[in-house]
Structure 1
């Protein structure tokens, strides 16, 4: 995922690792893509060795030297391969840890389990809110979002809302079991 994201961003223009990180953070893409800041630098170094990116220039900022990377022809080919792979890979990822816990939930319903579901709902609600802010920031930075970008955000929101509704349903069932 990191390789695809970094190569895709570098297709826009040459950037430093920090600039790539900022693009991901401003749009909240790092949140749903799972791209950690350190992984960007690691990917850039590895892709430089593989000749997928190269240093376009070095910029001096105070005592620091900043490398500006650009994508190579080989990098464009790798990007295309990764892009095709991303469309061919299953896009449904099940919350297996939650589902495993649910196997035992009815026989082990407790107030602590219900509180844990509350914590997860709070976390998902915060993440959803941050993603909505990310869409707003992205739109301010880039102007009108493309139909595909809008559809992507809508899909992400729908998945969060579906999971929150599911957790509400499970919590209500378990609450009823605890009150028996």
Structure 2
């Protein structure tokens, strides 16, 4: 799953019709480049690719006295379906970019649905943590291969923190925080 695709679809869903520069400007205002791999080129590539796939419609470039014309983009029904498909994957992901993109747009989905998905994400985080911790006894000791055990402990700690963080978001959602469509 591409976090950039989800971010582009999500911004267009909020701001359509919009041109590529407006999508880029919106993502820059979120400082998305600090928590994802989104770059100007990847935004424009995603716009082209999503248009070719029929998930976006593009208008003919509008003439402007300030330079070349800008193409306006809008989601098609296939684009709306792709947004939901990517959200499903993002909200259960243990990949930080994907999950971050999903969290950025979770308010587009019904609260019970987001809660269900984030509970699944938390279970995945816990399962991953437990699997990593279970591997430690089978690895050589710290003096034979010190990096192996340390890396397993590092990664299991990352997933422990992700699980705790998800629990906090779930608590806030269950308490009625966040404005959701329902």
Whichever of the two has the greater Rg, that structure is 1
- TM (normalized to structure 1)? 0.50
**Which protein is richer in helix relative to its size?**
1
- TM (normalized to structure 2)? 0.49
